Amino acid sequence: MNLKDVSVAPIASLFYEPDDRERWDDFLTMALSEALQSVPGRPVNPILDINVFRQTLQSFDFQLPRPLFELLPWVIDQLQSGVVQMTHPRYFGLFNPSPSFPAECAERIVSAFNPQLATSTTSPIPVEIEAHVIRSIAHRAGLPPGSAGHFTTGGSEANFTALICALTNANPRFGADGVAAFAGSPTIYVSQDAHLAWHKIAHQCGIGRASVRLIETDHLGRMELSSLFDMIGSDRAAGHTPVMVVATAGTTGAGMIDPLADCAAIARVVGAWFHIDAAWGGALIASDRLRGALAGIETADSITVDGHKWFATTMACGMFITRDARLLSDAFHVSTNYMPSNVQHLDPYVTTAQWSRRFLGLRLFLSLAAAGWGEYAKYLERSVALIDFLKEQLVELGWTVANDSPLAVLCVEPPMGFPSVRSIVRDIVASGSAWISITTFKGRDVIRICVTNGRTMPRDIQALVRSLRHFARGGEDLARDSQEEGVK
């Protein structure tokens, strides 16, 4: 094809002129602001007919272009009714907080510049910003100078990196020969209440799901040390190679923290890598008042922390941190003639599982820079105080508290004779008045309530208590109560 056969002008529907970009940026800012302001008055749960929506999607055959003035409002409208509203102050669900405004700003900045962080040659400033944040988190956690790491898409990628480092540390030939480098099959040890992504991670790493040993927990839901020690001993006697002990700092269900220092001691005795999955609970390092719950985190060989959990950034902002920076280079090194490698700075593409990399760390950098550790501490302490407030009210009403976590999560059971936990949660979620969840703790179904939203107020806690107390009146009354509460 000859150049004279095509238009050399930029495609107007893809690459807008500055004046048009500014107009649409202003429109989007206003539309999103209005949408977010409306969230507290909307149901928390998505209320839609997915089959109707799928039929609507069929009209998007991508044959003829559609104008942005039609597309942008349509997408915003769909998201207002088609997702669980995690920015809602009565979203008491998993670990997905309403993101900080600096993190939202970072998203727009990164999208505009779209830097590629594979190498410091192409993105020297973003690479340095991310490295600075990682060093700051490592220092705050008590790891020694020289600790390193990188941002990840989330906790699963960070934990995957930890296992790769553990295998490489256990046998330097693992990188070349894989599992065949080991005389006995590698094994890893996690609490039975740990995140089950470890099964997928073991599968990805090639050591197999059967290599994951789920260790019993004590009466508080923490890894049972004698069971850990006995399991490792049995595996070694059977010819297996224990490569990693994983302690969880904030279990997904009940927010329990394994005995970190004791787990570290066992890992040292058996010569295994010690990793702490602090994807949620790791944020406690920001609070001098609360960080004692993480005693022993400084003993870790590596740590996972998620910025998009209790550090309140937007999604896909995980972190992997290790005291042994050399292992990252050993585990992920590669040489190619089309990607210059800056040995001095250890480019991300030779020290991480990723190749092409988005500028993930700016969200946490701007949030920390705008608020400082002190304001983050207030945010965390406020979340815990709201959970304590909820706990006091439910105990007065005869509810039973199942967990004893220093984190902002509460697991409760209704009094005897009340409907089942599952029916209570189903009715409340269906009403749209709040979003809570079910988990299993110590073999029993419990209601799980988590506060990580910085906009949740005491009145939202009181509204949840009313819903829990009056659940027996049925979904219709719950919905009416929710609407009346919204009016107030």
Give the per-residue pLDDT at 162.
98
- CA-CA-CA-CA torsion for 353, 355, 359, 364, nearest 10 degrees? 0
Q: In angstroms, rounded to a whole number, what is the distance separating the alpha carbons of residues 144 and 322? A: 9
Q: In angstroms, rounded to a whole number, what is the distance separating the alpha carbons of residues 186 and 166? A: 10
Token pair for residue 288? 């001098």
CA R_g for the chain:
25
pLDDT digits (tens, 9 = 90+) for 101-125: 999 999 999 999 999 999 988 999 9
Type of residue at 137: I
Q: In angstroms, rounded to a whole number, what is the distance separating the alpha carbons of residues 16 and 23? A: 10
Give the per-residue pLDDT at 476.
46
Give the per-residue pLDDT at 343.
56
Give the per-residue pLDDT at 345.
56
pLDDT digits (tens, 9 = 90+) for 91-103: 998 888 899 999 9
Q: In angstroms, rounded to a whole number, what is the distance separating the alpha carbons of residues 113 and 115? A: 6
User: Which stretches in the chain have pLDDT values below 50?
Assistant: 472-479, 481-482, 484-488
CATH dotted code for 372-487: 3.90.1150.170
Q: In angstroms, rounded to a whole number, what is the distance separating the alpha carbons of residues 53 and 290? A: 45
Q: Which of 255, 259, 256 is nearest to 267 (CA)?
A: 259
Give the per-residue pLDDT at 479.
46
Give the per-residue pLDDT at 341.
63
Phi/psi at 274 (5° precision): -110, 115
Domain ranges of the chain: 20-87, 108-367, 372-487
As assigned by CATH, the class of the 108-367 domain is alpha beta
Phi/psi at 108 (5° precision): -70, -40
